[in-house]
Amino acid sequence: MVNSTTECKVVIIREFDKERDVKVVEKLERNCEIGTKKGVSIFTNMMGDPLSRIRFYPIHVILVAELLESKEIVGVVRGCIKNVGTTTPPGSLLKMGCIIGLRVSPTYRRKGVALKLVTSLEEWMVRNGAEYSYLATEKNNEASKALFALKCNYVSLSSLVIFVHPTSTSTSLPTKHISERDIKIEKVNIDQAISLYKRILKTKELYPLDIDTILKEKLSLGTWVCYYKDEGCIKLQNMVDNNQTLIGSTSSWVIFSIWNTCESYKLQIKKSSHHHPLRFLHTTLKQGNNLGNLMEFIWRFTSRLGESMKDCRVVITELGLGDPLANYVPQTDSMSCIDDLWYTKRLSSIGHNNGKDEEMAMKRYVGNVFVDPREF
């Protein structure tokens, strides 16, 4: 919890009060939605629940910027803290703070409100033991990039792409000569999924250490593996003693998980109506030569699942520019692509870095990465 307020001439930063702030914050965020972005973009509608994007983290906070005299709320930001693993150096563990949902009233922009919100949130992160802070912003959000890169000294961590596809157009996805008789999609149980993810995520640049929490959350619809039948079946066996998963002989396969955000919040894709998203995340476990056909089947499968769900209108996933899967996302007129930038910095008030060097913070090219669905 925030123990103190940050005060300037006209604004104080304080912690969100659910009893008196919920309606005001909701109105503020609706006002921020208008005329703030160019091109294809995403805006998150919390559906009257400001905590919807952060309540899945054990450590989280919402800060608001309030005018001293009128008590009007003119800004809001969310923060959470999680433990992640990294391969720089191999086997390293980091406690990272995440900045989510920074919004400032159009009337009070360029007056230092956003900077005060971010600074106060970073102070909260330090008090709760975070070593790094990071965030994601759309490439076309020039104001956000200027704030974090120029004023707050964040560095570019990676570039990713958000792919958005309407479920109603799943029949327009390309169909090649490969048929459903040649490819199998098989659902795995939670224990198998956790074991499989834990084993492979250890080789990724950044990965959440609480993958079991993500997959056991009620919004998780399950985990599937997709592979070619003629390359040999995948045999998944949960080993109770050593918590490992055995994999069969197939050479080209993909694991993916589907996370239902329809009940938590909804997204507005600019130039279209409000849509409830069915988010899905995935990672390549073995990079074979025929990933394109597998990706088409995964998109078709997920779109059909979305069509069967009430109010679900789009399927969304995010992939690193260096991820081989990004080259095989089905390209159709209905597919939208949004460039996403990740920024990070080491929090300067940390006394030492426990042997972790700055190379992690300066990475600019992430390949096959597990994108945490809770941060969207």
| Per-residue model confidence as pLDDT tens digits over 203-231 | 776 778 888 998 998 889 999 998 888 76
Residues 163-340, CATH architecture: 3-Layer(aba) Sandwich (3.40)
- Domain coordinates of the chain in residue numbers? 11-159+341-365, 163-340
- pLDDT value at residue 230: 75
Q: Is 91 exposed, middle or buried (0-12, 13-18, 19+ CB in 10 A)?
A: exposed
Helix, strand, coil percent values for the chain (each to nearest 5): 25, 35, 40
165 falls in which pLDDT band (50, 70, 90)? confident
Strand-strand pairing, 220-228 and 92-104: unpaired
pLDDT beyond 80 at 64: yes
Whether 192 shows a pLDDT value over 80: the answer reads yes
What local confidence, expressed as pLDDT, does residue 125 receive? 96
Instruction: With beta carbons less than 8 A apart as the criterion, state whether 310 and 262 touch.
Output: yes
Q: Is the pLDDT of residue 357 over 80?
A: no
pLDDT computed for residue 5 by the predictor: 45
The alpha-helical segments, DSSP class H, found in the chain are 18-32, 113-127, 142-145, 190-201, 211-216, 291-307, 359-362
Cα of first residue to Cα of last residue in the chain, in angstroms, is 23
Listed ranges 301-305, 323-327, 358-362; the one with the highest mean pLDDT? 301-305
CATH topology of domain 11-159+341-365: Aminopeptidase (3.40.630)
- Residue with token string 């990071």: 134
Contact 133, 122 (CB under 8 A): yes
Whether the pLDDT of residue 323 is over 70: the answer is yes
For residue range 24-51, what is the model confidence (pLDDT) as tens digits? Answer: 998 898 888 654 455 666 667 666 778 8
Instruction: Give residues with Cβ within 8 angstroms of 9, minimum separation 6.
Output: 68
Q: Which residue, 188, 165, 209, is CA-closest to 253?
A: 188
- Find residue 98's DSSP bridge partners: 80, 134
Helix (H) or strand (E) holding 102: strand 92-104
pLDDT for res 84: 86
Pair 29, 76: CB distance under 8 Å: yes
Q: What is the pLDDT of residue 148?
A: 94
Both structure tokens of 92:
């390293």
Q: Tell whether the model's pLDDT for residue 290 goes beyond 80.
A: no
Give 342: exposed, middle or buried? Use CB within 10 Å, 0-12, 13-18, 19+. buried
Task: State the pLDDT confidence band at 62, using cuts at 50, 70 and 90.
Answer: very high
Residue 5 — φ and ψ, nearest 5°? -110, 155
Tens digit of each residue's pLDDT (9 = 90 or more) over 141-156 = 899 999 999 999 999 8
Q: What is the pTM of this model?
A: 0.82
At residue 147, the pLDDT reads 95
What per-residue confidence (pLDDT) applies to 49?
77
- What proportion of the chain, given as a percentage, has pLDDT over 90? 29
Residue 172 contacts residue 315 (beta carbons within 8 Å): no
The larger pLDDT score, comparing residue 30 to residue 12, is at: 12
pLDDT beyond 80 at 121 = yes
What is the residue type of 91? Answer: G
CA distance 305 to 311: 12
Q: What is the mean pLDDT of the chain?
A: 79
Q: Which of 184, 208, 129 is nearest to 373 (CA)?
A: 208
- Equal fold, 11-159+341-365 vs 163-340: yes
Average pLDDT over every residue of 3-25: 78
- Residue 265: how many CB atoms within 10 A of its CB? 17
Closest C-alpha among 265, 316, 266, 343 to residue 99: 343
The pLDDT > 70 percentage for the chain reads 73
